[in-house]
Structure formats: structure tokens, C-alpha cells
């Protein structure tokens, strides 16, 4: 019983100190972001096959796909109206290639890609 009373008194004393703390009006966060695309393998391969089908006759197309780890950054800004209520805005930007392809007619070749932003 003494331990419970001691814990209750300690919690009461520490909560008074926590209420007396100042709160920041604004908080900012920035960081590194990695994103995995939510595309199924079937749809991603279908996209690569469509690129191969659109190639002109007499040309060869090689395509490679990747849905993993598109690199970018993330950030957020929080505006605290009072110690209990605040408004937060989150931002994220990721970019990388989904499909890389090369079209070749034997003499010349052209490289291209489908990019995710």
C-alpha cells in the first residue's frame, strides 16, 4: 500500500512540473524518405510489355522494371495553437525510374524511362 501511495504522490508532483513547461509555437521536421511503389508485378510487367509492343517494326526493345525504394525526402511543419491543439502539414517527394528501356535498330539506339514523381 505504501508503494502505491508513493507512486500516486510522485505522479502528482511530476505532473505539476510537466504542466509548467513551455510549448513551442512551431515545430519543423525534415528527413530522408524511401518509398516502395504499390504496383503489382503483373501490372509493372504489363507496362514494360506495352512499351515493347509500341516499338516500330525492325527494332529491338529491352526493358527492365523496378518498383523498390524510390528515394526522396519528407518534411512536416506543426503550428501549435495551444498546449493541447496543433495543426500539422506533411510533405513528401520521391523520384526514380519505374521502367528503363532501350530501343535499337542495329545502327542507333535510344534510351528512355518511365519516371515516378
Per-residue pLDDT tens digits for 79-103: 998 888 899 999 998 887 777 888 8
Cα angle at 48 between 45 and 53, to 5 degrees? 120
- Inter-residue contact 55 to 104 (CB < 8 Å): no
Place of cell 504522490: 9
Nearest to 32 by CA among 61, 2, 75: 75
Residue pLDDT, tens place only, 101-110: 888 877 888 8
Instruction: Say if residue 76's pLDDT is above 80.
Output: yes
Which has more pLDDT, 76 or 68?
A: 76
Residue pLDDT, tens place only, 33-64: 887 777 777 777 777 777 777 777 777 777 77
- Inter-residue contact 52 to 64 (CB < 8 Å): no
Nearest to 72 by CA among 108, 28, 18, 34: 34
Q: What pLDDT does 17 receive?
A: 62
Question: The whole model's pTM is what?
Answer: 0.51
Which has more pLDDT, 14 or 87?
A: 87
3-state secondary structure 47-86: HHHHHHHCCCCCCEEEEEECCCCEEEEEEEEEEECCCCCE
Please state the domain extents for the chain. 24-116
Q: What pLDDT does 19 receive?
A: 59
Quote the CA–CA distance of 52 and 47 in Å, as a whole number: 9
Instruction: State how beta strands 26-35 and 70-80 pair.
Output: antiparallel
Which has more pLDDT, 73 or 65?
A: 73
Amino acid at each position: 500500500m505504501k508503494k502505491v501511495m508513493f507512486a500516486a504522490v510522485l505522479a502528482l508532483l511530476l505532473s505539476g512540473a510537466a504542466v509548467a513547461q513551455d510549448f513551442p509555437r512551431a515545430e519543423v521536421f525534415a528527413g530522408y524518405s524511401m518509398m516502395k511503389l504499390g504496383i503489382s508485378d503483373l501490372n509493372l510487367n504489363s507496362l514494360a510489355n506495352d512499351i515493347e509492343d509500341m516499338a516500330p517494326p525492325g527494332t529491338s526493345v529491352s526493358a527492365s522494371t523496378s518498383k523498390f525504394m524510390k528515394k526522396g525526402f519528407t518534411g512536416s511543419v506543426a503550428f501549435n495553437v495551444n498546449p493541447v491543439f496543433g495543426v500539422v502539414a506533411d510533405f513528401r517527394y520521391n523520384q526514380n525510374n519505374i521502367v528503363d528501356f532501350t530501343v535499337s535498330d542495329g545502327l542507333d539506339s535510344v534510351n528512355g524511362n518511365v519516371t515516378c514523381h
